[in-house]
Amino acid sequence: MRKFKVGFVGAGAVTRLHLRGYANHQNRVEIVAMCDPSEAAVNERADEFGIAGRYTDVNEMIRSAGIEVAVVCTPSTIRQSVITPLLQAGIPVFVEKPFADTLAEAEAIAKEAASLSVPVSVNQNFRRHHKFEFIRGLIEEGVIGKLEGIHFASMFYRQDAGWRIHTERHAMSVMAIHWFDGIRRIANAEAESIYCTTYSSAAIECLGETDATVQITFANGVKAHFTQSFSSPLGKDDLVVLGSEGVISTTNNEIKLYRKDPSGLPNWNPTPVQTWNEALPIEEAIFDGLDQLLNWIETGIEAANSASDNLHTVSLLDGAYLSAKDNKVITFNKGLL
């Protein structure tokens, strides 16, 4: 376990979550540089967290800061242009999700990283923050028998500001990217097809979609369905995982296991047979993602959150947008468009 010198590219709001999480692990990471085209943004964030190296040009940071790992928190619209010089300098990258706006851009980044043998991992922090990995483990243990279906609803009111509201891709790229990733981790199989419908509510100021409904079929027969809404005054965050012998349900931090009522009749107020409380704070989940990259650097064993793995997540996102645009079912080849 060695300590790594880390530099940030992008000084926006999301960097606070990273820096708060990393502050608890100073034996593992040392933040030595902050880079953003806005000098004011760099100074604000660097002052807040006591970061000495301050840059407005990524190439100057590469030359002067002595960083061993880069954390990229820029808008996804410019990710490829930022990540490329880092890869060419041999600097491993931990990048925010989605790590590119389109599958073509994501594939280009992953291909270059592989050709240069430079590790790239993606911040899929909701794998542990939203309990997807824990539920995947329960399914592997057989607690619900054969996995058959996944149903999820993420609904709340969210008015974003800044660059994202001016892009054609909104709610799914901001939040549903987590659900694409988490659902495919639970399904533990490649996606075969996807169908998606979207709309943009007048309640939210943005160019892209605010609401989406998605259906996914996986190669092992599992069917998944989820709804994402940024326009709902009613908040809802419910995940139900259906199996041949039981059901897992999550609300907030609790994970509950239910069995069929002995009477065989519907039970509208069942008692869970087992309950788990498994929630990693979001800042710690972000550090966990970075630490996966650091372990990859140390051991040479590819991390579970690698860029190549996340191609399948970005493919689901791309497929959903294509399906909504053309109003048709989109099929995949081994999980990729």
Residues in contact with 165: Cβ distance below 8 Å, sequence separation at least 6, in sequence order: 205, 206, 207, 208
On whether both 191 and 318 belong to a single domain, the answer is yes
**337 belongs to a structural domain:** no
Residues in contact with 54: Cβ distance below 8 Å, sequence separation at least 6, in sequence order: 33, 34, 35, 39, 42, 43, 46
Q: Is 80 exceeded by the pLDDT of residue 279?
A: no
What is the Cβ-side half-sphere exposure of residue 99, based on CA atoms within 13 angstroms?
32
Domain span including residue 53: 4-125+284-306
The confidence score (pLDDT) of residue 267 equals 87
pLDDT tens by residue, 79-110 = 999 999 999 999 999 999 999 989 999 999 99
Whole-prediction pTM: 0.94
The confidence score (pLDDT) of residue 189 equals 97
Q: Is 90 exceeded by the pLDDT of residue 274?
A: yes
What is the DSSP-derived secondary structure letter of residue 336? B
pLDDT tens by residue, 192-206 = 999 999 999 999 999
CATH number at residue 204: 3.30.360.10
pLDDT tens by residue, 34-73 = 999 999 999 999 999 999 999 999 999 999 999 999 999 9
Instruction: Categorize the per-residue pLDDT at 166 as very low, low, confident or very high, splitting at 50, 70 and 90.
Output: very high
On whether both 174 and 322 belong to a single domain, the answer is yes
Whether residue 188 contacts residue 136, with contact meaning beta carbons closer than 8 Å, is answered with: yes
By three-state DSSP, how is residue 330 classified? strand
- Residue 138 CA to residue 186 CA, distance in Å, equals 10
The angle formed by the CA atoms of residues 305, 147 and 126, to the nearest 5 degrees, is: 30
Enumerate the β-bridge partners of residue 29. 4
On whether both 201 and 265 belong to a single domain, the answer is yes
pLDDT tens by residue, 120-165 = 999 999 999 999 999 999 999 999 999 999 999 999 999 999 999 9
By three-state DSSP, how is residue 246 classified? coil
Tally of domains in the chain = 2
Q: Is 80 exceeded by the pLDDT of residue 311?
A: yes
On whether both 318 and 182 belong to a single domain, the answer is yes
By three-state DSSP, how is residue 217 classified? strand
Token pair of 189 as six digits: 């199989």
Whether cis (ω within 30° of 0) applies to the bond prior to 98 is yes
- Residue 12 CA to residue 45 CA, distance in Å, equals 8
On whether both 163 and 140 belong to a single domain, the answer is yes
On whether both 216 and 246 belong to a single domain, the answer is yes
Whether residue 213 contacts residue 232, with contact meaning beta carbons closer than 8 Å, is answered with: no
Task: Provide mean pLDDT across the span 301-305.
Answer: 98
Q: Which of 161, 176, 172, 192 is nearest to 130 (CA)?
A: 176
End-to-end CA distance of the chain: 38
Mean pLDDT score across all residues of the chain: 96
**28 belongs to a structural domain:** yes
Task: Provide mean pLDDT across the span 112-127.
Answer: 97
The confidence score (pLDDT) of residue 47 equals 97
On whether both 141 and 120 belong to a single domain, the answer is no
The confidence score (pLDDT) of residue 253 equals 78
Kindly report each contact of residues 291-296 with a partner whose C-beta sits within 8 Å and lies 24 or more positions away, as own/partner. Answer: 291/25, 291/28, 292/121, 293/69, 293/92, 293/94, 293/119, 293/120, 293/121, 294/4, 294/28, 294/29, 294/69, 296/92, 296/119, 296/121
How many CB atoms sit inside 10 A of residue 169's CB?
22
Whether residue 87 contacts residue 118, with contact meaning beta carbons closer than 8 Å, is answered with: yes
**69 belongs to a structural domain:** yes
Cα Rg for the chain, rounded, in angstroms? 21
The confidence score (pLDDT) of residue 127 equals 95
Q: Is 80 exceeded by the pLDDT of residue 252?
A: no
**247 belongs to a structural domain:** yes
Whether residue 226 contacts residue 183, with contact meaning beta carbons closer than 8 Å, is answered with: yes
On whether both 166 and 302 belong to a single domain, the answer is no
**137 belongs to a structural domain:** yes
The confidence score (pLDDT) of residue 193 equals 98
On whether both 157 and 274 belong to a single domain, the answer is yes
**336 belongs to a structural domain:** no
CATH number at residue 19: 3.40.50.720
The confidence score (pLDDT) of residue 120 equals 98
By three-state DSSP, how is residue 230 classified? coil
On whether both 185 and 320 belong to a single domain, the answer is yes
